[in-house]
Chain A
Amino acid sequence: MNLYAVKSIYLFEMHRAWRTILQSVVSPVISTSLYFIVFGAAIGSRINTIDGVSYGAYIVPGLIMLTLLQQSIAAASFGIYFPKFIGTIYEVLSAPVSFLEIVLGYVGAAATKSIILGTIILITATFFVHVRIDHPFWMVLFFALTAISFSLFGFIIGIWADTFEKLQLIPLLIVTPLVFLGGSFYSIRMLPPFWQTVTLFNPVLYLISGFRWSFYEVSDVGVAVSLAMILVFLAICLGLVWWIFKTGYRLKS
């Protein structure tokens, strides 16, 4: 394995994040703080507890997931799309590296960035509400699996996109609505039965539910189902990335 290449890509991407530290870190922290103020203070004052957890604390896992999903996709998609856009991708494609090494470099960096951001959001949340983590191991596992899976998904979007508009299309029109409608800010049991059934088709529900369970031992669906869903999503993304490099889709003619 060309570990020097993996390290080079990884450090290059991490350095790019450091160069844009304001955009990378401050912006999500401010956004999340606003969510706490708007949802926690305004709505939280009308909802005391959900499953015995204060509303402010209840939305913390959902907010972390929101950041994790958005930032994983954004970091990984931009990381691979930008070299394509400016033409520097030629260097990666002509280097003695396998698809696995390219993925490890780009996706590893994107996942690291989103995990760091998610951790910052978690720390920020403790300034607003009391947060407890009942199952730290499962929390870290869900955290890492989600960051890796959605970084892979972002990587796929970055390869598929041939315009900046397309780069934004899926995160804005599909992922963000799914996160908002997947129980980030509420329990699906608060919905009418019909909408509860509809929400079960939202894959993000399972991520948030499992992640929330690791915090407070409360969930909308079984934790095993949540874990299975994230593993299935990870497998699909890995399969797609393998196919992309095997066929050279949008990379090689």
Chain B
Amino acid sequence: MDPVIAISGLSKTYEDGYEALKSVDLTIGKGEIFALLGPNGAGKTTLISILCGLVKPTGGSATVGGYDIVHDYRKTRSMIGLVPQELTTDQFETVFATTSFSRGLFGRPAKPDYIDQVLTDLSLIDRRDNKIMTLSGGMKRRVMIAKALAHEPTVLFLDEPSAGVDVELRKGMWDVVRRLRDSGVTIILTTHYIEEAEEMADRIGVISKGELMLAEEKHALMAKLGRKTLTIQLQEPLEALPDQLGKDGLELAEDGTALVYEYDTRSERTGIGALIADLNRADIRVKDLDTKQSSLEEIFVRLVREGQ
């Protein structure tokens, strides 16, 4: 996949000495959805803000579409659409006027048909001539997306797009994002919602304390770092874990009715076969088995904890 964004050693240290970004290297391919995960203050918004020209980097470089974000800022910014975290719109303007303003600001001639199409895609066409102050929070969020799309960008940054949005609207926005990706737009989203990244992203980056800890294809990441838990329901409860089952990662549930065994899917030997054999030898009868893959959220929490 052709890289559309190439970041090399990008750093940001504020005047008070705070290091918001520490030498980040990252490449994002054309047409992919890249999710950047990280706790509050990790540096997600700083990274996006530098690429969009809102924050000045103190080290490193970055290109968008092959152009340097500092020296060729006109070219790079023309390619980028930004949906910021905050709902910042001019409340007294109409939906159509504010979206058209964004198009002109980014150097594109007026094209009312295109603006109407964007508003239709975002289910805003019925509110085209309404003032923004009359819209609900979810609609305002969609207006922000419409403004970012007004100049037909090829790269779209969504900074916490689902913050404060209800579940139904969130899923509607995911559909919009997928449609955009299908039309060739590269999408970079930051989110707190692991579900969002798990649902939409092709690749996932985890950032913590200004450092990019990893950037991996989503399924590969889950397979690589995912742990599985085997829960063995017992026909008769145990008071304690028998000595012959003293296996690493094996625990007896509090009520004694189940054994819980956590194993690493990356290991050549998971130990499950040996465990079943041990159970037979100890004459412990099994009622049921259940396995569960760690979610992205659990992976994320673990990575961040390890980073700390």
The residues of B that contact A96 with a CB separation of less than 8 Å are 73-78, 106-107
- Chain B residues in 8 Å Cβ range of A9: 105
Would A12 and B88 count as touching, CB distance under 8 A?
A: no
Q: Are A87 and B105 in contact (CB under 8 A)?
A: no
Chain B CB within 10 Å, residue with most, of A83, A88, A96, A252: A96
Kindly state whether residue A91 has any CB partner on chain B within 8 Å: yes
Chain A 139-188 interface residues, beta-carbon cutoff 8 Å to B: none
Q: How large is the interface on A (under 10, 10 to 19, 20 to 34, 35 or more residues)?
A: 20 to 34
| In the complex, A137 has a CB within 8 A of chain B | no
Task: Give a binary string over A78-106; 1 marks a CB under 8 Å from any B CB, 0 the rest.
Answer: 00000100111011111111100000000
Asked if A5 and B89 make an inter-chain contact with CB atoms under 8 angstroms apart, the answer reads no
| A contacts with B: majority SS | helix
How many chain B residues touch A (CB < 8 A): the figure is 32
Total contacts A-B at CB 8 Å: 70
Interface digits, B86-121 against A, CB 8 Å rule (1 contact, 0 not)?
A: 101111100001000111111111000000000000
Q: Is B256 engaged at the interface, CB distance under 8 Å to the other chain?
A: no
B92: which of A19, A90, A93, A253 is its contact (CB, 8 Å)? A19
Which residue of A has the minimal Cβ distance to B76? A96
Instruction: Return A105 CB to nearest CB of chain B, in Å.
Output: 9
Q: B90, A95: Cβ atoms under 8 Å? A: no
**Smallest CB-CB separation from A247: which chain B residue?**
B56
**CB-CB < 8 A to A91: which residues of B?**
82, 102, 105, 147
Whether A94 lies near B80 (C-beta < 8 A) is yes
- Report the minimal beta-carbon distance from B132 to chain A, rounded to whole angstroms: 11
Contact B107 A2 (CB under 8 A): yes
| A8, A86, A93: the one within 8 Å of B90 (CB) | A86
Closest CB of chain A to B37's CB: distance in Å?
23
Q: Does A136 contact B (CB under 8 A)?
A: no
With A88-B89, A94-B77 known as contacts, the answer to whether A5 contacts B14 (CB < 8 A) is no
Task: Beyond A95-B107, A96-B78, list 13 extra A-B contacts (CB 8 Å).
Answer: A4-B107, A5-B107, A12-B101, A15-B97, A86-B88, A87-B84, A87-B86, A88-B89, A90-B82, A91-B105, A93-B53, A95-B105, A98-B74
The 3 closest A-B pairs by CB, nearest first: A8-B104, A87-B88, A96-B74
Can you give 27 A-B contacts (C-beta < 8 A)? A4-B105, A4-B107, A5-B105, A8-B101, A8-B105, A19-B92, A83-B90, A86-B88, A86-B90, A86-B91, A87-B86, A90-B54, A90-B82, A91-B102, A93-B54, A94-B80, A94-B82, A95-B105, A96-B74, A96-B75, A96-B76, A96-B78, A97-B107, A98-B74, A253-B14, A253-B55, A253-B56
